[in-house]
Amino acid sequence: MSTTKPDLIRDFERVDADTVAKASQFAASILADVAGRRGTLSSRISPLTPETRVAGPALTVEVRPGDNLMIHAAMAVAKPGDVLVIDGKGDESCALMGEIMVSQCKAIGVAGIIIFGSVRDTEAIREIGFPVYAVGANPNGPTKNIAGRVNWPISVGGTSVQPGDLIVGDADGVVVVEREKAPGLLAAAAKKVQDETKRLTEIRTGGPLRPSWLEGALRKAGALGEGEVL
């Protein structure tokens, strides 16, 4: 019996639903900071509608530029709550998805679409109110001829994504957190929100404007001498 892993993997271990629900309450920037200021996708990948947010486990798709055959395959095996994360190689010569496919994703219960490539029917997609992140729009349609991979590790906008990783997106962009690490970051995210809220309150109510860490950081960087102050 062959032990070769198939190009289309139908199931995988997902970040658990409780972690997704809790992580969805945080801004992508908060999660990126507590995850080590890493894991964010290229700013080329932006939301069609900034007000939309997305959170869920990554269902990964790799396609050849300009071909969306494996996106259709991924949609056929997707489960409610999944986020389609598609490595379209950043190609902008044609759209890989449009109103029909997005409508199908919404009906399936997919949580959102992150695509390193282009889409079309953007006005209709905005009216649907479905979270879609892409690098651009192009009215040209794709081919459906070339096999790719579903639920393999991919690279999207300079960041590696494993099937089942936590995806959180908002108006700023998208952050990817490794499935195994995601639950352990929630407490740190809550603490960071608390600290930032305190700092904003200080700024807005006449408290100290200069951050308390600034002089120490400047000394460490060599910009201030020992004992020197601003």
The reported pLDDT for the residue numbered 110 is 98
d(CA 52, CA 33): 21
Domain ranges of the chain: 17-180
The reported pLDDT for the residue numbered 11 is 92
Encode 13-36: b = buried (16+ Cβ within 10 Å), e = exposed.
Answer: ebbeeebbebbeebbbbbbbbbbe
122 residue type, one letter: T
The reported pLDDT for the residue numbered 23 is 98
pTM of the predicted model as reported, rounded to 2 decimal places:
0.94
Asked if residues 166 and 182 have their Cβ atoms less than 8 Å apart, the reply is yes
The reported pLDDT for the residue numbered 190 is 98
The reported pLDDT for the residue numbered 1 is 54
With CA atoms as reference, report the closest residue to 63 among 53, 54, 80, 75: 75
The reported pLDDT for the residue numbered 79 is 98
How many other β-carbons are positioned within 10 Å of the β-carbon of residue 218?
15
In this structure, what token pair is assigned to residue 175?
Answer: 């952050």
The reported pLDDT for the residue numbered 153 is 98
Asked if residues 83 and 115 have their Cβ atoms less than 8 Å apart, the reply is no
The reported pLDDT for the residue numbered 229 is 87
d(CA 106, CA 111): 7
Regions of the chain with pLDDT less than 50: none
The reported pLDDT for the residue numbered 127 is 96
The reported pLDDT for the residue numbered 2 is 55
d(CA 228, CA 225): 5
How many other β-carbons are positioned within 10 Å of the β-carbon of residue 108?
15
d(CA 224, CA 212): 15
Alpha helices, DSSP H only, in the chain?
Answer: 17-23, 28-34, 69-77, 99-108, 122-128, 186-204, 214-221
The reported pLDDT for the residue numbered 3 is 67
Superfamily (CATH) of domain 17-180: Ribonuclease E inhibitor RraA/RraA-like (3.50.30.40)
Helix (H) or strand (E) holding 168: strand 166-170
